[in-house]
Amino acid sequence: MKPRIIKTNAEKPGEEILEAAEYIKQGKLVAFPTETVYGLGADALNEKAVRRIFEVKGRPADNPLIVHVSRIEQIYEIAEPNDVAEELIEKFFPGPLTLVMKNKKVPKIVTAGLETVAIRMPNHKVALKLIDYSSPIAAPSANKSGKPSPTKAEHVLEDFNGEIECIIDAGETIIGLESTVVDTTVYPLEILRPGGVTKEEIERYFEVRFAEEVGTPKSPGMKYRHYAPKAELIVLVGDGFFEKALEVAKNFEKRGKRVGIAGLGIKGENCFNLGDSLQDFAKNLFKALRELDKKCDLIIMQGVEEKGLGKAIMNRLKKAGKIYRI
C-alpha cells in the first residue's frame, strides 16, 4: 500500500484536510506535521488503530503516546488537569509543551497502562485542523523506533512507505525537536524530556527541575536508544569545533572511512551547515543526521552548552552518539 500523500499549505490548510480526517475516523494511520516534528497519528480513543501505531513503529508497548488536542475543552473530556496544569495550559498551549496529568478516559494502550496521560496542543494549523475535523489524536514522532525524528514528509516516507495509509505534507517543521514533557502530578514540576519549551521559560511561573537530576524514574521513552543514524556519531563539545573536526575527519579518511561534519556556520565538502543560532541547530539537527547518514560512515557533530534550547539538543545527541570534550 502506497500512502496517499496530501499536499497542503502550512499557513493555509484547506478542505483537503477533510480527506485525511476521514482516514483517522476510519481507524487508519495518518502522518501529519506539527511545529516540532511529524507525528504518526490515530484516533486516540480507538484501541485497534492505536495498536497499529506500536506495530508499524516497532515501539515497545511500555512506552506511552502523547494525545494531541485542538481545543481546551477536549482536555477536560479525557483527563483531569490540576491547578498547575491549568495555568501551564493557559500560558503555553498551543505550543511545544506536553503535560502529563491524571487520565480520565484514554485507553490503556495509549498510556501504556499508567494512571496518567500526556497531552499537548500543537501550534500548527494543519495539525489543529486535522484534529478538529476528526478527534483527539494519539501520535508518537513518525519515525521507526530508534531512528532520528522526521522533520519533513520525505523522512516519514523513508521509514514507512507501504505501511501507513496517509501522509500530510506541509513542508519542513519549524522547531525540529520534540516537545518538552512535564509531569504536573508532582511539585516541584519535573521535566521528563527537555524540548521546545525551555526550563527557563517554565521557571517564570513554577518551580521545576529535570527528572534526571532528581533521580525519578524517567519518562518511559527515555530509557531507549534513540535518534541514532546508522553511521557512527561523535559529538565534539568546546571551542574550536571545526578545526578539530577536520583533523579527526582526516584521520578517519586515511583509513578509508567516509566522514561528514555538521556544525554552525561551516562550509565545505561533506559539511552540513546547521545555521547560525541554537534555533537553527534544533531545526536542522535531525535532517542533518538523516542526510549525512546516507553518504557517511562517521558523522562528526558540534556539541553546544546545555542551557536553554541547548539542553534539548544535547539530550538528543547523547542518545544518538558519543560525546567528547575538546
Phi, psi of 208 (to 5 degrees): -150, 145
Q: In this chain, which residue has its C-beta nearest to ligand TXA?
A: 221
- Cell digits of residue 293: 547518514
User: How many CB atoms lie under 10 A from the CB of residue 258?
Assistant: 15
Q: For ligand TXA, give the closer residue by CB, 64 or 321.
A: 64
By CB under 6 A, which span of 33-41, 153-161, 208-216, 265-273 interacts with ligand TXA? 33-41
Task: Identify which of residues 118 and 278 has a Cβ nearer to ligand TXA in the complex.
Answer: 118
Single residue of 31, 181, 189, 249 touching ligand TXA by CB under 6 A:
181
Q: By CB under 6 A, is residue 111 in contact with ligand TXA?
A: yes
Residue 114: which of Mg ion, ligand TXA, none does it interact with, CB under 5 to 8 A by kind? ligand TXA
Q: In the complex, what is the shortest distance from the CB of residue 37 to Mg ion, in angstroms, rounded to a whole number?
A: 8
Binding-site member from 10, 44, 45, 64 for ligand TXA (CB under 6 A): 64
Amino acid at 116: T
Which positions touch Mg ion (CB under 5 A)?
141
Least Å distance, CB 103 to ligand TXA, is: 8
- Shortest gap between Cβ of 284 and ligand TXA (angstroms)? 16
Instruction: Find out whether the peptide bond into 220 is cis, omega within 30 degrees of 0.
Output: no
**Contact between 139 and ligand TXA (CB under 6 A)?**
yes
Sign of the dihedral defined by the CA atoms of residues 143, 147, 153, 154, in that order: negative
Q: Which of these segments, 111-119, 151-159, 208-216, 294-302, binds ligand TXA (CB under 6 A)?
A: 111-119
Partner whose footprint covers residue 37, from Mg ion, ligand TXA, none (CB < 5 to 8 Å by kind): ligand TXA
Q: Which amino acid is at 285?
A: L
Stretch that binds ligand TXA, among 115-123, 163-171, 246-254, 272-280 (CB under 6 A): 115-123
Provide, rounded to whole angstroms, the least separation between the CB of residue 54 and ligand TXA.
Answer: 10
Answer for which of 20, 31, 37, 211 binds ligand TXA (CB under 6 A) is 37
Select 175 or 271, whichever has its Cβ closest to Mg ion.
175
Q: Which listed option, ligand TXA, Mg ion, none, makes contact with residue 220 (CB within 5 to 8 Å by class)? A: ligand TXA
User: In angstroms, rounded to a whole number, what is the distance separating the alpha carbons of residues 203 and 36?
Assistant: 21
| 52 near ligand TXA (CB under 6 A) | no
Tell me whether residue 146 or residue 297 sits nearer to ligand TXA (CB atom): 146
Give dist(CA 179, CA 176) in Å, integer.
9
Give the residues lining the site for ligand TXA (CB under 6 A). 34, 36-37, 39, 63-66, 98, 100, 111, 114, 116-118, 120, 122, 139-141, 178-179, 181, 192-193, 219-222
